[in-house]
Structure 1
């Protein structure tokens, strides 16, 4: 395919500087050393995987580092990083247009543009989303001046955020019955809740990785806002290196509101006006200190309660970043808005692949696995009533639950230093009949790993 004058051409173009995009570009660079790989990213930094270890057949362990894109180009001379966002894709012409006005032609394209925060209210200066390093830094600056915040959401970032915050009262609003509903069961949630109120904390391990941020963030009215540019997604240790402390001297003060969502947000002047007119509060509500504290913003929940706070953190998931690619292209799209891909990561359009948060798996899932950070059907998903649970719990140390069906292990939840991950994964995969072991399977006095090495 010949490129028009002024139009760059590459065999492979990858869009996105996150883990999916960088890993894809690295793999292509190794497999096709004579071909130039174009990696397009709106951020000056990329996410790289380091210290990779294959723990077991399906379990992998690795660290995620933020690095300047120049390091990636140095490691792989055939990778050319193009620092610009994507403006448009013309799949029928095999062309991609960047925001800096340039055109690129490709033979094969892989879209790894990730996702953006799904904010509860767009455009409200007191609602912050946490998605990339820039927004995490903005959150840290706001938290340093805060006495109380409201966290909305029950996913991974909300869980880590509420645990890490010190010196600031946290009102945590979740739509589920228990915290961490996406990742574990109600029993595990009860095991973890005391961790949110403990005063004594272990000294965190210092994060020695260099942190890079995007420049040019403009301060707006209200809390400090992050840049509107799309940066790389946060890694699993996103809170390391951030000083997540408010203005108060206490360590943790968390109040959880379950089975509720945000109904409305009132700015201070709106709140005062409503208070003077029609707004009334339940008599049992003790958290709205009308005569003592006047907060910058107020959150009205669907359970009728209203809390004043300094700002709101919207940790309510993400929306696949498909907008630059849909116009004029007939992609098949999943229910969550992501680009549908098959088991080979192919989209519905020829020569276009996708990976990471931008895509939606459209293949038939394995009968043994469910996409979460625990093992197998940890909550008996799809097993009906024909199953039993076995539990071992030592308060403050470990929580172990296994799901059994017809003598075979179908799933597990492991919290704490159990050293059972690889053993239980193998037992789920090989579907060994464990009936003979009975309750000894979780007997703490028996080193169960030795039985199945």
Structure 2
């Protein structure tokens, strides 16, 4: 049997290596990995922290040195098309690669801002784009970062030597990962100015996510019911209105209305792995700004990226726009936001999410509403002998009540490994048992220097208003702990800081133990909750 894996990212490399290891004593099984990049991303220093939580590092290796297995061949090739009837893959060099089983792990491409000046916009997705960013930031005086996902959060924290303007379409930062309260926790430690307000007003607005008066307080633990949370949302909207920004509804990951990915653009690199910024070395080459400013623009999006000449005409047609730059025309690029604020900058970083990248497969393959290749619980597509894993796919099976798909490197690794098991099972005309990692959402990362653990329905995803309550324990600058409770059981958790509570709350989520009788003890700092539920 010959298995062809498309993609050299975390999912593709994990899938190919897992197959090579499983079939190392079966020479009748061969694997070919097609990589559009000259480098392969492999997993190193893997640690299983708990039943669902894991950490690992990503190591880039040249194709010649990566994954040395006798039954695995790695070919540097960009896929042009797939003939699913003939079971062959055609690359751009004209070579055909026949397969018995195919696994598509092509990842996703940046959802770039649409502009007539792409030379001023860079999308952060792979190692090549990070190198481009390094070169551009070396002499930059001001950078505009657009987006509210993980890369945007990390980038805003890391860039310390030039002015940063952060354009966020939502009412608070990091909506994919945490709520307004957690965002406020970070804001108290990170010097981010809210545009258009004085320092005191800015601080008040940025802290609106943390309710001052919870509905109940038990042993120092704040309890917020949906009624309280609705009040918080209303206050947030009011604060945004007072700040002079529009009330734009937020959602997890829809594209910006003015954003699209160029149809003919080719992205050959694999997605960034965890802690990518540690290796990026985002240091200045030219003169360093002594007191750089970081300004966050909430509830806004990019309306236009203009040249100085274009801005002169634009300003005449749009007299409501506002800017504070006396030398606005001296900037290479001028960014106009939907709230009519304008910023000059040297470079625009587009970190606005990704679009699944599978244009080389025809319309015969079933796609989900987000453009991802639809897969069942065996990672199979609607086409015979065609599998998919990682960012390129969208799960379509009835998932666990505590798990959902979010395009993260953790899930890419898990899907790649599970797809390999499914391919092995299919080769024996069997079905693979669904991996335990799909029982509950679990992700560990770092934002703004803090360890962040997300478990289950950490933002009450899918829970109706009125059906859940929230427990909070906050120590400013140290920790932020949030539990989501419904039907007397823990449904999700956000743990920021070195809490050492992840395994305890993971078990409570998985076991669905009724904690109604002692919920006031769950976050009591004087109670050793780990031993209590051991």
TM range (shorter): 0.7 to 0.9
- Match for residue 15 of structure 2? 24
Task: Report the Cα distance in structure 2 between the residues aligned to 1:429 and 1:417, rounded to whole angstroms.
Answer: 22
Task: Report the Cα distance in structure 2 between the residues aligned to 1:150 and 1:399, rounded to whole angstroms.
Answer: 29
Matched, 1:304 2:340: yes
Matched, 1:315 2:351: yes
Matched, 1:381 2:415: no
Matched, 1:118 2:157: no
Partner of residue 98 from structure 1, selected from 73, 91, 104: 91
Q: Please say if residues 271 and 298 of structure 1, whose CA atoms lie closer than 8 Å, have aligned partners that are also in contact.
A: yes
- Match for residue 280 of structure 2? 242
Task: Report the Cα distance in structure 2 between the residues aligned to 1:122 and 1:114, rounded to whole angstroms.
Answer: 24
Gaps of 5+ in 2: 193-264, 407-442, 444-453
Task: Report the Cα distance in structure 1 between the residues aligned to 2:305 and 2:114, rounded to whole angstroms.
Answer: 8
- Match for residue 399 of structure 1? 480
- Match for residue 526 of structure 2? 445
Q: Please say if residues 121 and 127 of structure 1, whose CA atoms lie closer than 8 Å, have aligned partners that are also in contact.
A: no
Could you give the per-residue CA deviations for residues 249-274 of structure 1, whole angstroms, max 9, x where no partner exists? 34652111111111111112212344
Task: Report the Cα distance in structure 2 between the residues aligned to 1:122 and 1:233, rounded to whole angstroms.
Answer: 23
Partner of residue 429 from structure 1, selected from 507, 510, 524: 510
Partner of residue 271 from structure 2, selected from 233, 244, 250: 233
Partner of residue 333 from structure 1, selected from 367, 374, 398: 367
- Match for residue 269 of structure 1? 309
Task: Report the Cα distance in structure 2 between the residues aligned to 1:396 and 1:270, rounded to whole angstroms.
Answer: 44
- Match for residue 85 of structure 1? 78
Q: Please say if residues 162 and 288 of structure 2, whose CA atoms lie closer than 8 Å, have aligned partners that are also in contact.
A: yes
Task: Tell me how far 1:278 sits from its aligned partner.
Answer: 3.4
Task: Tell me how far 1:364 sits from its aligned partner.
Answer: 1.4
Task: Report the Cα distance in structure 1 between the residues aligned to 2:267 and 2:183, rounded to whole angstroms.
Answer: 35
Matched, 1:14 2:8: no
User: How many residue pairs get matched?
Assistant: 409
* 1:357-376 paired onto structure 2 within 5 Å: 357-371=391-405, 373=443, 374-376=454-456
SS in 2 for 1:189: helix
Matched, 1:185 2:265: no
Q: Please say if residues 162 and 196 of structure 1, whose CA atoms lie closer than 8 Å, have aligned partners that are also in contact.
A: no
Task: Tell me how far 1:56 sits from its aligned partner.
Answer: 1.8
Task: Report the Cα distance in structure 2 between the residues aligned to 1:336 and 1:291, rounded to whole angstroms.
Answer: 42
Task: Report the Cα distance in structure 2 between the residues aligned to 1:289 and 1:73, rounded to whole angstroms.
Answer: 52
Task: Tell me how far 1:415 sits from its aligned partner.
Answer: 0.6
Task: Report the Cα distance in structure 1 between the residues aligned to 2:502 and 2:91, rounded to whole angstroms.
Answer: 44
SS in 2 for 1:413: strand
Task: Report the Cα distance in structure 2 between the residues aligned to 1:245 and 1:187, rounded to whole angstroms.
Answer: 31
CA RMSD of aligned residues (A): 1.8
Task: Report the Cα distance in structure 1 between the residues aligned to 2:276 and 2:179, rounded to whole angstroms.
Answer: 24
Task: Report the Cα distance in structure 2 between the residues aligned to 1:54 and 1:106, rounded to whole angstroms.
Answer: 33
Which stretch of the first structure deviates more once superposed, 133-142 or 58-67? 58-67
Task: Report the Cα distance in structure 2 between the residues aligned to 1:189 and 1:293, rounded to whole angstroms.
Answer: 34
SS in 2 for 1:170: strand
- Match for residue 107 of structure 1? 100
Task: Report the Cα distance in structure 1 between the residues aligned to 2:115 and 2:96, rounded to whole angstroms.
Answer: 32
Task: Report the Cα distance in structure 1 between the residues aligned to 2:4 and 2:459, rounded to whole angstroms.
Answer: 40
Gaps of 5+ in 1: 1-9, 199-226
Task: Tell me how far 1:378 sits from its aligned partner.
Answer: 1.3
